[in-house]
Chains A and B, each alone.
Chain A
Amino acid sequence: MTAALETTGLSKRYGRTWALRDCTLAVPQGRVAAVVGPNGAGKTTLMRLAVGLRRPTRGSVSVFGRTPRDDAASLARVGFVAQETPLYRDLTVADHLEMGRRLNGVGWDQPSAAERLGKLSIPLDRRAGELSGGQRAQVALTIALAKRPDLLVLDEPVASLDPLARRTFLSELMGEIATRELTVLLSSHLIADLEHRCDYLVILSDARVQVLGDVEELLASHRALVGPVDAPSPNGSIVSSHSTDRQRTLVVRSEARSPAPPPWAAQPISLEDLVLAYLSEPGAGTLPGPEGTA
């Protein structure tokens, strides 16, 4: 099966700065993929390349096997919500739906879009410039969903929302995803937003892909080891290490479910701890492929 999104050596440079370097990844269809990383790691660049808004400096990107840039046929299969969820300030919500209907033709699902906005009690005659941040994000998501996309790309859709609006937006989004055959690429720098919501993980750090893979497999192959501060380091690859006065906590990658070497005690690890462990050690990395590490 063709991957929903596939990139090969994808790189983007602005002036003398690389925003993304040698990014090779494939997001299988039907996954909810989280793209995480600190600000400036290249998340927005990756997402904009994926929807053809940017042009690769090197490498290639394909969506369902086609190059997305300026390709109306493949863009018809993609729903995109940009950071800051831009809308036309002077147009009403209804105008935006009309725009979507006129620009997308037969694929456009006008009734469900109107129904969705009605359920969220967003007034159709309100100008986009007068909407709250949460409402704007919902309108932008509604436009993206009304295209009945096969790939939904959301670039920090909740970054500007307060915590309550953020949770509402994300659970609403997950509800929508559950009812459709849909691949989702969702970026955030708040890992807590993504926990229990995504099943595929891409960690970007300093313009490079640091970790890539299935969330369950990643959680199964990593664990935390807690031991005395002066304990000798165990065998296996250590992702990160944190010490307090008395104890030391390691995040290690160990493929087998072997017992922890004494004096270490093993603990399962949460997605957030896993992500933070990698983000705190930009040198560590886990990528699929023959060599396993990079």
Chain B
Amino acid sequence: MIWLAWRRRRGALIATGAALVVAAVLLYLTGRSMWDIFHDGGLAACISNLHGARWVAADGGCQDEAQAFAARFFPMRLLGLALFTFVPMVVGMFWGAPAIARELEDDTVSLVWTQGVSRRRWAWTQLAFVAAVAVVTMGLFAILATWWYGPLNAATGDRFQWLIYDQQGFVPVGYAVFATLLAAFIGALTGRTVRAMAITAVGFIVARFGIAVFWRPRFMAGLERTYPVVTERVPNRLLGDWLYGGGGPGVGVVMTAGGDRAAGGQRVCPPLDPACFADIGRGAFNLELYHPASRFWTFQSIETGIYLALALALGAATVWWVRRRLV
């Protein structure tokens, strides 16, 4: 049964391997230059001298060097965001959608379902095969992407931020397996490959958006920290804490001494510049709701687990449908 699953997909495997090689070459070349400049430009040494301090001087903390680096590679970051975000979805559409739908379209099911093998075994083999392809393909890509993002993570402290977090570590593998089994399930329901691809794209984006925006911040209780507006020390942004609430993505809020919300964002004023805090008063403070950078892998594990559980449920539903309901 595995032999048949493999034999039928040799062409697709070769195409996927070729696409992966092209992606690897591009990522290596662009990533190499980022890493070189990160080291040679002195940013790596500067960050290393901070020794992971939680607080840094308001005018220090390698901010100028980091901002220069981030600005230089801003187009690269945008490109990464635009392309990487959809890789798991594309893997799912091209590997999951035809897994069962193509056989229904060509009626080859009437050939294979009348051999001496049960539908259950047939269906699980198809699903396991495409899921394994998704794991390997997306796993290799995610390893490359994680390496590629290294200098950008260090220079922006954005590793935990929405969309950046989603492209590193092992959570992309969870997305890809989910997308693949979602596509296979819809393919079994509709019996149409192209339709399954389209519905998968919509379903994947909805699930990803919903879980990332509404669930992810609640995986664990967030921490709170405050510091005065008039200050000489600020949190070390390059550590990579995830500020997820308040004034918008990645920032906190500014509160008056009485505890009222004054503005979104962050306000830092030197003590000798009263004009800077005249509008909110000397006692105003910054409030930040955040998940510390140390939770990155915990969050990745929780989210990957959620997607793998969804994928398993979709797989079971597909097999049930193939055995009980299909034609």
Residues on A close to B: CB < 8 A? 48, 51-55, 70-72, 75-76, 78-80, 82, 84, 86-91, 95, 98-100, 102-105, 107, 140, 143, 147
Contacts and interface: CB of A to CB of B under 8 A. Distances in A.
B119 interface: yes
Contacts of B327: 48, 53-55
A89 B106 contact: yes
B115 A104 contact: yes
B106 A99 contact: no
Nearest to B107: A86
B305 to A, nearest CB: 32
Contacts of B108: 86-88
A90 B115 contact: no
B3 interface: yes
Contact of B7 (A53, A55, A91, A103): A91
Given A104-B115, A104-B116, 13 more contacts: A51-B114, A53-B109, A53-B113, A53-B114, A70-B118, A70-B119, A71-B118, A84-B107, A88-B108, A90-B10, A91-B8, A103-B117, A147-B115
Nearest to A95: B7
Given A53-B327, A87-B108, A80 B116 contact: no
A87 B108 CA distance: 6
Interface string B80-123: 00000000000000000000000000111111111111111000
Interface of B: 1, 3-4, 7-8, 10-11, 106-120, 323, 327
B106 to A, nearest CB: 6
Contacts of A143: 111
A104 B4 CA distance: 13
Contact of A88 (B8, B113, B114): B8
CB-based closest 3 A-B pairs:
A103-B115, A82-B110, A76-B116
A266 B181 CA distance: 68
B143 to A, nearest CB: 31
B111 A105 contact: no
Contact of A86 (B4, B111, B117, B119): B111
A136 to B, nearest CB: 11
5 contacts: A48-B327, A82-B111, A90-B10, A99-B3, A102-B4
A75 B115 CA distance: 6
A55 B1 CA distance: 24
Contacts of A51: 110, 114
Nearest to B4: A99
Contacts of B4: 99, 102-103
Contacts of B109: 53
A27 B323 CA distance: 27
Given A55-B327, A70-B323, A91-B7, A147 B116 contact: yes
A147 B119 CA distance: 18
Contact of B11 (A70, A82, A84, A90): A90
- Tell me which of A72, A87, A104 has the highest count of chain B C-beta atoms within 10 A of its own C-beta: A72
B120 A70 contact: yes
- Tell me which of B113, B115, B120 has the highest count of chain A C-beta atoms within 10 A of its own C-beta: B115
Contacts of A98: 3, 7
Nearest to B322: A70
Contacts of A78: 114
Contact of A105 (B107, B112, B116): B116
A51 B119 CA distance: 13
A210 B101 CA distance: 36
Nearest to B324: A55
B116 A72 contact: yes
Contacts of A48: 110, 327
